Amino acid sequence: LLVVDGQSTSAVAYDGLGSNFTAVSAPEGVTWTHLERFDERHLAAIGWRVAATPGQNPAQPEMQAWITVIQVQDGTMTKLQSVEGPLGSVHSTASFDDGTVLVATEENAVLVDSDASTTSLGVRSSAAMLADDGTVWFAGSGDSTLMPRWMDGTLDTERLASPLGLAVTSAESDGHRWVLFGTNGDGEHAAMVLDVDQNASPLSGRGFLNLMFLVVGTASILGIASTWWRQSTV
């Protein structure tokens, strides 16, 4: 798990009884926000730092993803390597069955291996979902008419019958359904529920994105989130 201590974050491993644990701290200037597993002995601690972009505004510095590979052996955690990720803040991470980890920001998405090597997917997004079949779906901006997907090592796109219509701020998924939270074009709180097991016809009312688009108040959005959390933990 990740622990925040003042201005720093640490990854902590413990034996399940709370009696023995070890911790490693994030590199200087890095804030870890996500923790994913490569395999039984390796973790990816994922976060951000201020990008070293020349000429950027110091009052509004650009963010860059940062990934650290951590080895866990005999209850001891050791930082092995760190690698720069794409520019932007991390909005989605996920672990694949083959031992790679997805890191997605607004500017790009990469696949990271336990040896800290990376593969750029070359896709911008506001949210990403790893489906149970291994496909990664990416949501774009509210006016986007395309929905990229990474499948079997190839990036392609599904054309939407109409713009997405939602400025995504957060998302939840159980590998089958994708719930996107955000605001619509009028600035109202909205949520979109997508069934990615049916991928025939994006935004057409049947098949993939056979969705329910909700324009509701904050209380109702919180109700949807609460219901989703209860269902996903059953």
pLDDT of 65 reads: 96
pLDDT of 15 reads: 47
What residues are paired with 145 via a beta bridge? Answer: none
183/121 Cα distance (integer angstroms): 27
> Can you list the residues of the chain whose pLDDT is less than 70?
1-21, 198-234
pLDDT of 212 reads: 43
With tokens 């607004």, the residue in question is 106
175/92 Cα distance (integer angstroms): 13
Q: Kindly write down the DSSP assignment for every residue of 99-165, as one continuous string.
A: S-EEEEESS-EEEE-TTS-EEE-----SEEEE-TTS-EEEE--TT--EEEEEETTEEEEEEPSS---
Q: pTM score, two decimals? A: 0.81
Q: What is the pLDDT of residues 26-56, one digit of tens each?
A: 888 898 999 999 998 999 999 999 887 777 7
11/70 Cα distance (integer angstroms): 9
Q: What is the pLDDT of residues 108-141, one digit of tens each?
A: 999 999 999 999 999 999 999 999 989 999 999 9
Q: Kindly write down the DSSP assignment for every residue of 76-95, as one continuous string.
A: EEEEEEEEEEEES-EEEEEE
Q: Which helix (H) or strand (E) holds 227?
A: helix 218-232
pLDDT of 1 reads: 58
